Amino acid sequence: MKEIVRYPGCFVCGEKNEIGLGARFYWDGCKAVCDIVADEKYCGYRHLFHGGIVATILDEVMIKALLAEDQFAVTAEMTIRYRKPVHTGDHLRCEGWLTEKRGTVYRTAGTVVNQEGERVAEATGKYVRPKGDLSGHLLESLE
């Protein structure tokens, strides 16, 4: 699998972000994939991984599916369904993929599965190709 491009300062994937997740994303030819352990420092309630961090990872894995195919976009909408709590220490497999492309709009889907194979969260997203200066700024951010 090929590692997907990243921004060094990104909260999710940046290796230079000291408070970030340090996640690495790979392209398997069809979808973006990431394996991560739910770290205690990102808990919401005691020993429960924060739902906002789960949402952040889903957003990232879905946009990585676009970046893997050199499609640059920004998040316009995201819908998340939480199915089970994520406990700190859980090993998570996150996957994201493109479901539809219409002009400058991309629709995606993503899932998070724990070490027992249980789907703990799923999402759909709508991403749009940026216009003007924002497009250039995004390209400058990537490695």
- Give the tens place of pLDDT for each residue, 53-100: 999 999 999 999 999 998 989 999 999 999 999 999 999 999 999 999
- Give the tens place of pLDDT for each residue, 5-38: 888 899 999 999 999 999 999 999 999 999 999 9
Say which CATH topology domain 2-141 has: Thiol Ester Dehydrase; Chain A (3.10.129)
The yes-or-no verdict on residue 133 having pLDDT over 80 is no
Q: What six digits make up the tokens of 108?
A: 């995606």
What is the model's pTM?
Answer: 0.92
CA distance 107 to 96: 11
CA distance 37 to 26: 16
Q: Where are the domains of the chain?
A: 2-141
**What's residue 141's pLDDT?**
66
**What's residue 130's pLDDT?**
87
